Amino acid sequence: MRRATAALGLALAASIVSGLTTAIPPASASVLNDDDGIHVTAEKQIDPRLLAVTVTTAALPGPANVRLLLPADYGAHPTRRYRRTGRPWATPSERPPDCP
């Protein structure tokens, strides 16, 4: 059960991050898009790299609170794509060569 919950959390976070399409604007503007059955119900920018997000999905019995830590250079490269490795907690040696 714990692995399934962790995997679902990672899938939620990865899907939300894939919806980030621009540099982080002021906190009043939305930066996240609904995707793959996940609906973003609330978001708050905690600091320049950290977002607190509340999402809902049919896969969960209620809202889920997710924190997204963005790459340090995310705001400086608004069009750069950050690939998912498909593996939770990939170490630097396990990441694809073009993945930061």
Q: How far apart are CA 23 and CA 31, in angstroms?
A: 8
Total H helices, total E strands in the chain:
1, 3
pTM reported for the whole predicted model: 0.53
Domain ranges of the chain: 2-94
pLDDT digits (tens, 9 = 90+) for 21-58: 444 444 445 568 888 899 999 999 999 889 999 999 99
Tell me the pLDDT of the chain averaged across its residues. 73
Contact 10, 4 (CB under 8 A): no
Q: How far apart are CA 28 and CA 69, in angstroms?
A: 19
The average pLDDT across 54-80 equals 89
Q: What is the per-residue burial (b if ≥16 Cβ within 10 Å, else e) of 14-33?
A: bbbbeebeeebeeeeeebbe
Beta bridge partners of 55: 40, 64
* Maximum alpha-carbon separation in the chain: 39
